[in-house]
Chain A
Amino acid sequence: AQTVTQSQPEMSVQEAETVTLSCTYDTSESNYYLFWYKQPPSRQMILVIRQEAYKQQNATENRFSVNFQKAAKSFSLKISDSQLGDTAMYFCAFKGSGGSNYKLTFGKGTLLTVNP
């Protein structure tokens, strides 16, 4: 079974600075997908970014980018130019690509606070 570990329960950053959230995972599959979701106080789950394991290039979405290290099974999220609206829980998630791998497996989350 796949597991996803987020070792930082809480982090804080000053507005306009850069912060990196860590995620590691365990799987025996060679192809899979990794995601970061944001959950603001409204509790809506918002898809931030996706990475396919077969792609060597790290995904980027505006101020959000990932550092995907397949051999180390590491998938960190970098937020540049942090904004107050980035304050939220951030969840790392894994999805297999074969067979009946429909489900997302989530980590426990990291609570990010952006301070003015």
Chain B
Amino acid sequence: EPEVTQTPSHQVTQMGQEVILRCVPISNHLYFYWYRQILGQKVEFLVSFYNNEISEKSEIFDDQFSVERPDGSNFTLKIRSTKLEDSAMYFCAYKGLSGQYFGPGTRLTVT
């Protein structure tokens, strides 16, 4: 069982709206990551987060994206103004003993 939960499991939003995806660790972890997977395509890295700072980000992670850990627990990914091409599964992951372990994902649909 994954040691993170993600909410919501499915989010439908209109183009141009802001969305916030949440990742809730069950145990204490220091390294977190966000990935996305457009339907039928490979999983793509967005950003890594350590000690409340971004440690690495991809070219996909532009100014429309932001991450934070506002209360020291929940880890959020915000998309400020969604586009149709943001429709995808968004996975939170944490660094565990053997590698990165993924949460169940949030399916984002932008209409």
Contacts and interface: CB of A to CB of B under 8 A. Distances in A.
Interface of A: 33, 35, 37, 42-47, 50, 91, 93, 95, 100-109
Nearest to B48: A102
B33 A102 contact: yes
A47 to B, nearest CB: 5
A103 B58 CA distance: 9
Interface in B15-73: 31, 33, 35, 37, 41-45, 48, 50, 55-56, 58
22 contacts: A33-B99, A37-B43, A43-B107, A44-B105, A45-B93, A45-B102, A45-B105, A47-B98, A47-B99, A91-B42, A93-B43, A95-B99, A95-B100, A100-B55, A100-B56, A103-B56, A103-B58, A104-B33, A104-B100, A106-B42, A106-B43, A108-B41
B43 A91 contact: yes
B91 interface: yes
Interface residues of B, number: 26
